Amino acid sequence: MAKYDNSFTDELRQRLSLVDVISRRVPLVKRGQNYWGCCPFHNEKTPSFSVNEDKGFYHCFGCREHGDIISFVMKTENIDFKEAIKELADMAGLKLPTYKQKTQQQIDNEENYIKITESACKIYQDLLFQDIGKHALEYIKKRGFSDDMIKKYRIGYAPKNNIISAKFNNVKIDKLTSTGLVRVGEYGPYDFFRDKLMFPIFNAHGQIVAFSGRSLDGSEPKYINTSDTELFHKRQTIFGFNFARDAIHRANRSIVVEGQIDAIQMQVNGFGETVAPLGTALTEDHIAILCKSNRNITFCFDGDNAGQKAAIRACTLVLPFLRDNSDVRFAFVSGGKDPDEILKTHGVSAMKKIIDDAVPLIDFLWETVNKNYLINTPGGRTQAEKFLKDCVSKITDKIFQSEIENEYNSRKFNQWHKWKKTEYKPDIELPDTNQIDINIIKSIVQTYPEISEKFGDFLISLNISFDEDVQKTTMSLQDAEKFIVSFKLQKYIKKLNAEKIEIINNALKNNVSDPEILKDINEKIKNANDKLENLMDKK
């Protein structure tokens, strides 16, 4: 029998929820691991029609009908395969490709691809435990990886020389380059991964389709991944998902972290439902794959600005996939640490608390708005309302969308429009500001609203009310901006000097000093003073 290219049908199955498609025709109720309803293929009063989202099939225990998302559409709509694919593609928002019979050459190429990546993985695994990979083994052991973990995740080492090019010299070069393991340069073929700790990347069937290599000498980027190939697409691949699928089903949620090592450490320390994107930002495809397994997701990011931005992006991506039974949360690891460090230094209980304390999406979005907009000004509230409205509009379940709108409207009425009683208190130390400076800043913000947008984070930190009317400033826009920047620099210098005094006092008290820290602070103070001086010199 001729084989056909299944990549598009696989993508449909990844992007579309079997439960969502079936529930358009059959009311379903979750009981245990499966969803149940009355069979659409025969008359019955007692539900015997079972839908297994994780495995991607339905089964009726009454009439024995059995199939997947494609066969369900074919049978219920009484249409053929091609028409069913078109209907599902429309649901998924995908363009229907031109179907062609897969040639024997294509079949052979895919089989050769998997053979090469599998053989390469074995080579990397062996080298990790040889003298040439000693430093890589020491590194991964220091990161808390046991031999069993290394074996389970098939971690290896790619040496500095071109070992793959040499080992596969009897394979046609186009076959090697198609896997992304080898490239061709001016002097011939060379290995793409060299002196890297190697993490194989598996597809849903457990086959190795790509690799992620971590630098061992501190060079950037920390990770490099196989470039996209015929069988590997970063935007549609989630690291650790093949290991996490069953755990996601059991835990009734998935946890998303930022890196491969974090994902592995989480999995082996009791959070088997953890996965990670492949060195790239989360995509809609990643969310679609996760939601197909389970719509309950906890995103766990670093607590720094980059982590906050990643969380906001994840929030906007997941909104179209929300349902009234979804539980999406956001957890943050503070102190410049990551899950790997938390597990090592504070243990599983500390990590569990971080996950258990995760903020629900509706609260995270509300806190984000309050932190990023000057909601104690009319203009700031307007901007915040526009942002919220845009986010809520992404929710496709209209009834659920309406409920979220009502919730936010209630919060806006009780908190924003009664802000004098419930002023936003930023969780950072408030700088001392005299009344003259306060009045000048109020005047600037009311005269030039664009300045409040540009310096919003700093102005929020001053905890000043901007709602009352004040006389507009006579400063030009340039001078007004210059005042805000100089004021910000002065506060920064004051803060650095306070830190310096505290460090010196602690050193005297404990008879311990760290000249590098003082040197770093002195350098920051000098740079800030130079900027302030240059600013004052500008006309």
For the chain, which residues make up each domain, given as ranges? Answer: 7-92, 104-232, 237-370, 426-539
Q: Return all residues near 29 (Cβ < 8 A) that are at least 6 apart.
A: 35, 36, 37, 47
How does the average pLDDT of the chain come out, rounded? 84
- Residue 196 pLDDT class (50, 70, 90 cuts): very high
At 89-135, the pLDDT tens digits run 888 777 776 656 667 777 778 889 999 999 999 999 999 999 999 99
Q: So what's the pLDDT on residue 323?
A: 83
Q: Token digits for 239?
A: 């690291």
291 with 310: CB under 8 angstroms? no
Tokens at 69, concatenated: 């998302």
User: Does the pLDDT value for residue 414 go beyond 90?
Assistant: no
Q: What number does CATH give the domain 7-92?
A: 3.90.580.10
What number is the average pLDDT over the span 447-458?
A: 74
Tell me how long the chain is: 539
Helix (H) or strand (E) holding 409: helix 398-411
pLDDT bin (cut points 50, 70, 90) of residue 388 is very high
CA–CA distances in Å: residue 50 to residues 13, 32, 423: 18, 11, 52
Q: Rounded mean pLDDT of 405-429?
A: 64
Nearest to 472 by CA among 451, 446, 449: 446
Q: Selecting from 3.40.50.2300, 3.40.50.2000, 3.40.50.980, 3.40.1360.10, what CATH number does the domain 237-370 have?
A: 3.40.1360.10
Query: What amino acid is encoded at 512 in this protein?
Result: V
pLDDT at 255 over 50: yes
Render pLDDT for 498-509 as a digit per residue (tens, 0 to 9). 887 877 777 676
Residue 424, pLDDT score: 36
Of 142-146, 280-284, 397-401, 451-455, highest mean pLDDT: 142-146
Instruction: For residues 295 and 374, give the distance between their C-alpha atoms in angstroms, rounded to a whole number.
Output: 33
Superfamily covering domain 104-232: DNA primase, catalytic core, N-terminal domain (3.90.980.10)
| Dihedral angle over CA of 290, 292, 298, 299, nearest 10 | 30
**Average pLDDT, stretch 448-470?**
71
- pTM score, whole prediction: 0.65
Q: Tell which wins on pLDDT, 440 or 48.
A: 48
As a whole number of angstroms, the distance between CA 41 and CA 346 comes to 55
Residue appearing with tokens 């790509």: 210
Exposure b/e, 386-423, CB count within 10 A at least 16 = b: eebeebbeebeeeebbeebeeebeebbeebbeeeeeee
Decide if pLDDT at 247 tops 50.
Answer: yes
pLDDT at 362 over 80: yes
CA distance 29 to 37: 7
The answer on pLDDT for 447 being more than 90 is no
pLDDT digits (tens, 9 = 90+) for 8-30: 777 777 778 888 899 888 889 88
